[in-house]
Structure 1
């Protein structure tokens, strides 16, 4: 039985959702699951846009057969060859033996790396701005390398003004019948997953996203069909603007994220006091995370969202507490930049956390660090409250400066 949704009169969503998968790419927790989107155009030539992960292949194939009946697929357009979208490519090719496979030169190379069937005799290799007519529709192709693999491209349908955007504009989360952004409460229920998806999957490649956005700016886009998450058929500028802001590494909110590690509660107590002091001065929407109990993908997402970070950690084995080091290295790997950071260290006999945190942060771009850290020996004492208040005041001045 097919389970499809109509995007336009002749374009259909034929994907499926996986609510059983616990870790996306076997690393990112997805408690709400994930969707694998594929789309079918019924025209003089029938076109399939991407395939799906093996986990949902049964539903996907039923969707195709339910719509096509005895008809065939003339073209499969491969916008992205990552296995969560390309794993069923060979199976679809065997079901529809006359189907041509459309992609760029890197796409064909990657298909050969994953599969052993004869791709050369079936491939249609395209380049930047090439077009393909399917009858009523004309499809145009634009390269989007490293958003987020080197072979990635997007396809623009001139007739329906749809951008098939590959992994760009994707979101964690399974689709629950409502596949369109105007059928859900996106900002309330989906934005955190959209941000976490972008920051962890694409966030490193801001320059490449900016290059794609410049190409997209020349297109009249009415609908965005990504490979994960909701289809955008209204207010598409909202999500495009988010991608523009994220890919320029600009914070979304002028506020403070406090990320701390604490073995016995003393470092935690210090940041609790700091948070209360900041709140008393009117700082709103402070976010605080025990990084030992928070997945690093969520920490990365929040760090990108906030303008100011307070990082607090004890010394451990002559260095910084391991989970803090992991967090900082993950920020570095995702090209984290353009933020203000305050550091708090704890060390009972030989404090070294500040030095180690500072060293990693100095390897990132445009990170403004307060020169004087708050250094605690075992536990914050009343005699150090002046130092904590001084740190609070420096944060307040910096926050105010961002607002001016």
Structure 2
């Protein structure tokens, strides 16, 4: 049975959701699933914007067939050639052999890398700012390279001022009938997953996000239709402000994340003591994670949200403990900027963790290490003055940041 939904008089959502998929890109846990969005204009001409992942092809093709109601498909706009959005292109060309595939040079290069169907006669090559007239609606194409692939386009419908934003403004989490953000308790159920999606999928490309947005009439947009998650038709400045912060690596709040690795509980005990000291100094809602138990994507999301990060780890085999090394390498690879850090190393017979963490975090642009210490096996009375000084420094920095 079809599950299409009306967005405007001539625009329909024809996507689907997957609640069975365990990991997005076989990497990120998605306990609430994920939606794959596709949009169809039924104007003088018909235009489909993007397809979906192969996991939901059956539902998707049923939706498209029903929505077309016997009409031919004139255009398929390919904003993004990642397989979770282009898996049904070949099948649509087979069903609608006269369809024109709208894309740029990189789009069709990537198509040939993924697929084998000959689409030479179907290609409709567009350049930056070209307009496709389908009747009442005019689709204008803005190139957004590296948001987050090099071929990405954003499609702006000029009549109703709708932005089809590819992976931008997307989120983890399946849709259950309500396809609009204003129909959902967005802050409760989707905000954290939207941030986790941004930080881990797009986070590295903040400058490219800013460059893409500079081309768009952001103040005029009436609706944002992403490829994952709910559609924005109200409170658009709210989500634009989030993206402004995330893409400029600006913390949402002056707050603290503590990420630690602990083999036998001694490093964990040290950060628990630090957290107690910080709580006594007025630092609330401290976010603490064991890197061996929590998937890195959740920690990365919290680091994107907060201004300060404490990392604590033992030395292992004369190197940094692998779980912590993975987190720090990921943060650097994602281009984290403008955060303040404190470091706690732990060792029994060879100290390497503290130095390794210092070297890695020193590469963070706009970063600052406020305090760093090394303990021997477990926190002792002799360490209390140093860890208390660390708590004082962190608390003062966070509280001062809240005043500005």
Structure 1 residues 143-154: aligned runs within 5 Å: 143-154=143-154
Q: Displacement of 1:399 after TM fit?
A: 1.4
The alignment's TM-score, normalised by the length of structure 1, stands at: 0.98
Aligned twin of 1:59: 59
Contact 1:213 1:244 in 2 (8 A): no
* CA deviation string 1:295-352 (max 9, x = no partner): 0111111111110000000011111111000100011110011100000011112222
Q: Distance in 1 between matches of 2:61 and 2:218?
A: 35
Contact 2:38 2:48 in 1 (8 A): yes
Aligned-residue RMSD, C-alpha: 1.0
Structure 1 residues 307-326: aligned runs within 5 Å: 307-326=307-326
Q: Which runs of 5+ in 1 are unaligned?
A: none
Q: Distance in 2 between matches of 1:213 and 1:341?
A: 30
Describe the shift of the 1:104–1:219 C-alpha distance in structure 2 as closer, same or farther (beyond 3 A). Answer: farther
Q: Distance in 1 between matches of 2:280 and 2:151?
A: 51
Does 2:380 align with 1:381?
Answer: yes
Contact 1:112 1:119 in 2 (8 A): no
Q: Distance in 1 between matches of 2:289 and 2:70?
A: 55
Q: Distance in 2 between matches of 1:104 and 1:300?
A: 33
Q: Displacement of 1:382 after TM fit?
A: 1.8
Q: Displacement of 1:202 after TM fit?
A: 0.3
* CA deviation string 1:64-109 (max 9, x = no partner): 1111121111000000010000011000111111100001111111
Does 2:195 align with 1:223?
Answer: no
Query: Structure 1: which 4+ aligned runs deviate by more than 3 Å?
Result: none
Partner secondary structure for residue 66 of structure 1:
helix
* CA deviation string 1:170-189 (max 9, x = no partner): 00000011110011000111
Q: Distance in 1 between matches of 2:384 and 2:362?
A: 28
Aligned twin of 1:6: 6
Q: Distance in 1 between matches of 2:235 and 2:225?
A: 13
Q: How many residues align?
A: 403
Describe the shift of the 1:272–1:206 C-alpha distance in structure 2 as closer, same or farther (beyond 3 A). Answer: same
Aligned twin of 1:120: 120
Q: Distance in 1 between matches of 2:327 and 2:116?
A: 39
* CA deviation string 1:22-50 (max 9, x = no partner): 01001011010000000000011000000
Aligned twin of 1:363: 363
Q: Which moved more, 1:23-32 or 1:219-228?
A: 219-228
Aligned twin of 1:399: 398
Aligned twin of 1:104: 104
The alignment's TM-score, normalised by the length of structure 2, stands at: 0.98
Partner secondary structure for residue 205 of structure 1:
helix
Partner secondary structure for residue 267 of structure 2:
helix
